[in-house]
Amino acid sequence: MELVTLRDLLPRAKREHYAVGAFNFNGYEDAVGIQMGAEQAAAPVILMASQGACQYIGLYETVGIVKGIAKHSKVPVCLHLDHATDYDFIKEAIKAGFSSVMVDASAREYETNIRESKAIADFARNYNCSVEAELGKVGGKEDNIVVEDRTAAFTVPSDVPRYVEETGIDALAVAFGSVHGFYKSEPKLDFDRLDAILKLTDCPIVLHGGTGIPIADIQKCIDMGLAKVNVGTELKAAFSGTLRKLCAELPAGEFDPRKFLKPVKGAVAAIVKEKLEAFGAAGKA
């Protein structure tokens, strides 16, 4: 199968009241694990690489791995660039074969955010690549983008319609109480704000910082019309936790990398399958 875009996945999810899961990967094993989990759930899936992950894996290597995975996949696979702030890099990723990108101009003021996100959306249109942008600031740490929890600004609902209209984006990340990384205290989502946003736009809405939000709260957002949920930190923890356990358990003479890394795929797949079932996406491939 060819890679699909957010346009292929999110409008249907919104209509049928489920959310598509988007999962961060940092190498071959977790990328394969994500697709395995999606196939077990018979759900479409978004594989996300941050700018940092692309630099670590290599941009063309990242595309190569995921195109290879998609080729024999029984479920639709989208390759999405997560939270990119370097516009030259975004264009390079689009040309390299990403089927979706996120332009993060959320640190800019409103008019600048519109202008810069629109420029990426205009560019992507020539490549059958979808674009997600962000309005408001999701708190926490995402690679090199750090937002102070206390200054994190929630999305203003009335800002949304003009933003979506003028940028021409395919999905919008909004801030209403979720943060990136593990939560220091119980997250409190502003459901009324999300509801107001959903009533004002048809654009598919994205929840960032899916790790650690009680599943019932995520399901409430999905019932309201949320269409994409991002999960990153939980997979990183499963990857390193599995590896740590195997290093302690495998005999000292074991040196085959596959003995260490194959269980990582399974651990990642198990989390992905569980999430996709919880998001109502199982069987929607």
Output DSSP code: residue 126.
G
Other beta carbons within 10 Å of 123: 18
Tell me if 208 contacts Zn ion by CB under 5 A.
yes
- Cα separation of 59 and 57, whole Å? 7
Tell me if 80 contacts Zn ion by CB under 5 A.
no
Other beta carbons within 10 Å of 191: 14
Q: Residue 238 contacts by C-beta under 8 Å, 6 or more apart in sequence?
A: 264, 267, 268, 270, 271
For residues 26 and 73, which CB has a smaller minimum distance to Zn ion in the complex?
Answer: 26
For residues 208 and 228, which CB has a smaller minimum distance to Zn ion in the complex?
Answer: 208
The least CB distance from residue 142 to Zn ion, in Å, is 5
For residues 36 and 171, which CB has a smaller minimum distance to Zn ion in the complex?
Answer: 171
Taking CB under 5 A as the binding criterion, the range among 70-78, 90-98, 203-211, 262-270 that sits at the site for Zn ion is: 203-211
For residues 24 and 35, which CB has a smaller minimum distance to Zn ion in the complex?
Answer: 24
Taking CB under 5 A as the binding criterion, the range among 119-127, 143-151, 205-213, 237-245 that sits at the site for Zn ion is: 205-213
The least CB distance from residue 7 to Zn ion, in Å, is 20
- Footprint on residues 221-240 left by Zn ion (CB under 5 A): none
Contact 99, 130 (CB under 8 A): yes
For residues 36 and 131, which CB has a smaller minimum distance to Zn ion in the complex?
Answer: 131
For residue 133, report the phi and psi dihedrals to the nearest 5 degrees: -130, 175
Active site residue 86: no
The least CB distance from residue 139 to Zn ion, in Å, is 10
Bridge partners of 141?
146
- Side-chain-facing half-sphere of 53: CA atoms under 13 Å: 25
Tell me if 265 contacts Zn ion by CB under 5 A.
no
The least CB distance from residue 80 to Zn ion, in Å, is 11
The least CB distance from residue 266 to Zn ion, in Å, is 26
Contact 92, 59 (CB under 8 A): yes
For residues 135 and 261, which CB has a smaller minimum distance to Zn ion in the complex?
Answer: 135
Bridge partners of 131?
101
Which residue number has the CB closest to Zn ion?
Answer: 208
The least CB distance from residue 222 to Zn ion, in Å, is 17
Taking CB under 5 A as the binding criterion, the range among 143-151, 204-212, 245-253, 262-270 that sits at the site for Zn ion is: 204-212
Taking CB under 5 A as the binding criterion, the range among 45-53, 87-95, 155-163, 202-210 that sits at the site for Zn ion is: 202-210
- Cα separation of 251 and 260, whole Å? 11
- Cα separation of 249 and 239, whole Å? 16
C-alpha distances (whole Å) from 218 to each of 170, 181, 189, 213, 244 are 21, 16, 9, 7, 30
Scanning the structure block, which residue is given the tokens 């409190």? Answer: 188
Give the pair of three-digit tokens for residue 37.
């989990």
Q: How many residues bind to Zn ion according to rule CB under 5 A? A: 1
Scanning the structure block, which residue is given the tokens 């085959």? Answer: 256
Residue positions annotated with a catalytic role: 82
**Residue ranges in contact with Zn ion by CB under 5 A:** 208
